[in-house]
Amino acid sequence: MGKAPQDPSMEHYIQLGSIDVTRVVAKDMQSGKVYTIFHIGYISYATGFLVEWGFFLHLIKPLASQVSYMTGPPLATPRGIMQGRSLCSVHFIVMSTEHPWSEKSEQYYRMKRDLS
Query: Can you give the C-alpha Rg of the chain in angstroms?
Result: 17
Q: What is the pLDDT of residue 66?
A: 93
Give Cβ neighbours of residue 63 (< 8 Å, ≥ 6 apart): 22, 25, 26, 29, 37, 69
pTM: 0.59
* Per-residue pLDDT tens over the stretch 8-37: 555 555 566 677 888 899 999 999 999 888
Residue 88 has pLDDT above 60, yes or no: yes
* Per-residue pLDDT tens over the stretch 35-67: 888 887 666 666 667 777 788 888 889 999 999
